[in-house]
Amino acid sequence: MKIIASIYQAALLTAAFVLLATDIVLAAPSEEHQLAQLASLPPGYSASELRMIGTFGDSIVINHTGTVEQIFSQLSIEHPHVDFSNTNTAGVADNANIGKRAHSDVNCIPVQGQNWNPAKIWAISSGIDYLNHVKAQCFVGPYSCVRISCSYNSGIHLCNNNDYLLSHGCGDIATYASAILDKCQYYKLLSSSGTGGQAWDTENFNICVFAERC
C-alpha cells in the first residue's frame, strides 16, 4: 500500500508541475503575438526614411538612405574590396562629452501612450556598434521619425520634434540608444532579455528603442 501511495503522490506532483509549466507558457506572450500588435510611433510624428551623409573610415563616402544595416549592405556592394565588418577600419568618433551634455530624460518601457515591447539587447547593441563606426550625420525631417536601425525585430528610431530639418551626428545618436540599453533592461522567464524606452535631447528630438517588424 505504501508503494502504491508513493506512486500516486509522485503522479500528482508530476501533473501539478505540467499544469504549472503550461500556465507559465500561456501567460508569457510570444514574440510573434507581441509583434502582431504593431508598435506605433509617438503621436504627432510621420514616418520617413533616414538619410546618412559622411564617411566610413577616411575615404569611403556615405550618402545613402535606409537603416544603418541597409546602408552598410549597399556600401559592401559598391566597395566589395572593403571589409565593412572590420569596424577598426572606421575608427570611433569621440561622442562622450556631446551626448552626456545634451541628454535630458530617459523613460523606460512602458512609456506612457505607447504600445511598445522590449527589443533584443544584442540586436540593439549591434545597431549601436554600426552607428559608432561611421563619421556621418543622420538627417530627419520636421515632426518625423526615421528608423535608424532594425535587425531581428528590434528597432532604433530618431524622432524630430522641431519644425525644421534636423542633422545630428550618427555616433552621438548611439549614445542615446546606449543610455536606454543601460537603464532599461528586462528579464522574463522563458524569453530572452530585452531593452526599450525613449531618450530625449535638449534640442527637442528623441531616440526610441522597441520591438517591431524589420
Q: Are residues 82 and 185 in the same domain?
A: yes
Domain count, the chain: 2
Secondary structure of residue 156 in the 3-state scheme: strand
Q: Are residues 21 and 83 in the same domain?
A: no
Domain containing 14: what range? 1-29
- Per-residue pLDDT tens, the chain, 214 aa: give them: 444 444 444 444 444 433 333 232 233 345 555 554 567 777 788 899 999 999 998 889 999 999 999 999 999 999 999 887 765 544 455 444 444 557 779 999 999 889 999 999 999 999 999 999 999 999 999 999 999 999 999 999 999 999 999 999 999 999 999 999 999 999 877 666 899 999 999 999 999 999 999 8
User: How far apart are the C-alpha atoms of 81 and 207, rounded to whole Å?
Assistant: 34
The reported pLDDT for the residue numbered 130 is 94
The reported pLDDT for the residue numbered 20 is 35
Q: Are residues 20 and 112 in the same domain?
A: no
pTM for the model: 0.77
Q: Which of 210, 214, 207, 198 is nearest to 39 (CA)?
A: 210
Q: Are residues 15 and 97 in the same domain?
A: no
What is the DSSP track for 31-61? HHHHHHS---PPTT-EEE--EEEEEETTTEE
User: How far apart are the C-alpha atoms of 90 and 94, rounded to whole Å?
Assistant: 13
Q: Are residues 25 and 56 in the same domain?
A: no
The reported pLDDT for the residue numbered 15 is 40
